[in-house]
Amino acid sequence: MTGGVVLVLGPLGLNFGSGMTGGLAYVLRAEAEDVLHRDFVTVEDISTAEDAWLREVLQEHLDRTGSPRAARLLSRRGTLPLLRVQPIHLQGTIESTWQPVLAKLNSSLAVPVEAQHAAASHAVSV
């Protein structure tokens, strides 16, 4: 991984983060045990701001897919059970890494999901 933000809602493979030079990965706390490649990444608890941003992403995922796991996570009280995995030498800040993701998310929220699906269907059929 060299940039962007990824939210993993399932199991991680062995040596997760090997070669990671940029971006941020958010993983379920229960899945992070003994599979991270610690020569490349560090693990941190998520901040309050990250919790809010991740909830936006999860809500979008739930709206688009009906994911039961996203619904369960969103129904939890308190902080999400997620950890931030980042390169040892993260370039930039957490906020600057999230900025393009949030901008895209906010612009897609301005258009109702039904209209997005209709536009996608129209684009495919043309």
**C-alpha 24: how far from its chain's center?**
8
pTM of the full structure: 0.82
pLDDT (tens digit, 9 = 90+) per residue, 5-27?
999 999 999 999 999 999 999 99
Domains of the chain, start order:
2-125 (2.160.20.60)
Measured distance CA(117)–CA(86) in Å, rounded = 33
- Whether 31 shows a pLDDT value over 70: the answer reads yes
Element (H, E) at 22: strand 22-28
Our CA angle for 32, 91, 88, nearest 5°, is 40
Q: Are strands 2-8 and 41-45 parallel, antiparallel or unpaired?
A: unpaired
- Per-residue pLDDT band for 112 (boundaries 50, 70, 90) equals low
